[in-house]
Structure 1
Amino acid sequence: MNRNHRRVEGVFNRKATLVAIIFSGVLGASGVALGAWAAHGLEASHGRHAVELVDTAVRYQLVHAVAVCAAVALAYLLESRPGVARCMAAGAWLFVIGAALFCGALHALAFGAPRWLGMVAPIGGLALVGGWLAVALGGWLARRSID
C-alpha cells in the first residue's frame, strides 16, 4: 500500500472529533427552533432588535453546524495525512466553540441578558475565523502533499 494512503492510527482523537458531530446536531436543531421562534412571535415579546440579533445568530449557527460536519468528514477522509486531519479536526472544534460563544452571546442578548455579555461575541467570532483558517491550512497542506 502506498505510504501516503495508509491509515494512521492516533492522528487525532476520533471519539472527541465525533462528539463534535453531536454538537453540530444541537447547533442545527436549536438554530432551526430559534429561527422559527424569531419568525413567529419573538418580536411581540422582545422587540425588533431581538429578532435581528436572533436572525444573525441563527444564520451563523446553521452555517457552522454544517461546517462542523464537513470538517469532521474531511478529517476522517484525509486521515492518512496527519497534519491535514489535525487541521480539519481543530477547525471543527473551533467552529463548535465559536458558534457557542458568538451565537450564544447574541441569543442571550436578545433575551435580555446583561449587555456586558456582548463582549463574548467577538471571542466567538475570532474562534470562527480560526476555524476557517485551520480548514484553509489543512487544504494547503493537502495540496502541498500532492505536488
Structure 2
Amino acid sequence: MNKKLLITAAILGILGIVLGAFAAHGLEKLLDVKAIKSFETGVRYQMYHAFFLLILGGTSFISQKTKSYVLILVITGVIFFSFSIYGLATNALTSFDFKTIAFITPIGGLFLILAWAVLLINILKTKVH
C-alpha cells in the first residue's frame, strides 16, 4: 500500500508541475487572468494532495486499511475537483461544455475533506504518543 501511495503522489506531483507550467506559459495568451487563476487553484490542490499522499506513504502508525480508503478518496477527489476545474478554466478552448459537469467540483472537494477526516479519525483512534 505504501508503494501505491508513493507512486500516486509522484504521478500527481509530476502532473501538477506540468499543468502548472502549462498554465503559466501555454495558457497565458489563450485565457483571461481569472481563468488562469482558477486553473492554478486546481493545480495547487492537486499538489497539496500529492504531498499529503507522500507523507502518508511514509507513516507507519496508520493502518493499511485507512491508507487504502484515503488513497481512494484523494484520487477521486483530485479527479473530480482539480480536473473539473481544469476543464472549466479552459472551457472556451474546447468544444465540450464543461459547465454541464461543474456539479462534480464540490463533490470532489467533499472527497478531499473526507480523506483528511478519515485520517484524523484514525489518528485519534491510534494509541501512539
The TM-score bracket by the shorter chain reads 0.7 to 0.9
Letter in 1 for 2:119: V
**1:33 aligns to 2:33 (yes or no):** no
- Aligned-pair distance for 1:146? 4.3
> How many Å separate the matches in 2 of 1:97 and 1:20?
14
**1:120 aligns to 2:104 (yes or no):** yes
Give 5+ residue unaligned stretches, structure 2. none
Alignment equivalent of 1:85, drawn from 51, 64, 67:
64
Letter in 2 for 1:111: T
Residue of structure 2 equivalent to 1:95: 74
Q: 1:146 to 1:111 in 2, by over 3 A?
A: closer
Residue of structure 2 equivalent to 1:134: 118
> How many Å separate the matches in 2 of 1:146 and 1:57?
34
**Which string of whole-angstrom CA distances, capped at 9 and with x for unpartnered residues, describes residues 8-43 of structure 1?**
xxxxxx3xx633433322211111111112222413
Segment of structure 1 superposing worse, 118-127 or 108-117: 108-117
Letter in 1 for 2:108: G
Letter in 2 for 1:64: H
1:71·1:135 contact (CA, 8 Å) conserved in 2?
no
2:74·2:111 contact (CA, 8 Å) conserved in 1?
yes
- Aligned-pair distance for 1:122? 0.9
Query: Equivalences for 1:102-113 in 2 at 5 Å?
Result: 102-112=81-91, 113=96
> How many Å separate the matches in 1 of 2:48 and 2:80?
15
2:61·2:128 contact (CA, 8 Å) conserved in 1?
no
Residue of structure 2 equivalent to 1:55: 40
Letter in 2 for 1:78: F
Q: Percent identity?
A: 27
Q: CA RMSD in A?
A: 2.0
How many residues get paired? 124
